[in-house]
Amino acid sequence: MMVLVTTAVSTGLRGELTMWLLEVSPGVFVGTVSARVRDQIWEFTCENIGNGRATLIFPQRNEQRLGIKTIGDAWEATDFDGMTLIRRPDLSGKEVTGKVTDRAKVREASGWSIAGRRRYYKNSIERRQRK
């Protein structure tokens, strides 16, 4: 069994994929095909993907018992000591630093979160007004 998940692809590609696979949800194709047909479907998808993206999940003889291929996506499948992991890019564009923000300093000093301190302050004012 294989699962092919597509996003932002043409209706022509979706129509071609429905010849071989069932579209169980918009952009999600499922089917049981041979490895050769699966590879041909993947090649066809890669050629006609355009600006969209696709992820193929298929059975494979490894520890996880599945293989993953991606195209057109910033997330990529990488091999880490025999296991397939998904690597996501850092979208912030900044290096990760060990700097402590002002909010974190306040939280460490008081033991209360910012929202908790506001709630406590609001409730104490309401109690004073009732008296």
In sequence order, what DSSP letters do the residues of 63-95 get, joined into one string?
SSS-EEEEES-S-EEEEETTEEEEE---TT-S-
Residue 126 and residue 83 share a domain: no
Task: Give residue 17's domain range.
Answer: 2-87
Residue 59 and residue 35 share a domain: yes
pTM over 0.75: no
Domains in the chain: how many in total?
Answer: 2
Q: What is the pLDDT along the chain (131 residues), one digit of tens a residue?
A: 999 999 999 999 999 999 999 999 999 999 999 999 999 999 999 999 999 999 999 999 999 999 999 999 888 899 988 899 998 887 665 555 555 556 555 555 666 676 777 777 777 777 677 76
Structural domain contains residue 13? yes
Residue 34 and residue 10 share a domain: yes
From CA 59, how far away is CA 99, in angstroms rounded?
A: 44
Residue 68 and residue 8 share a domain: yes
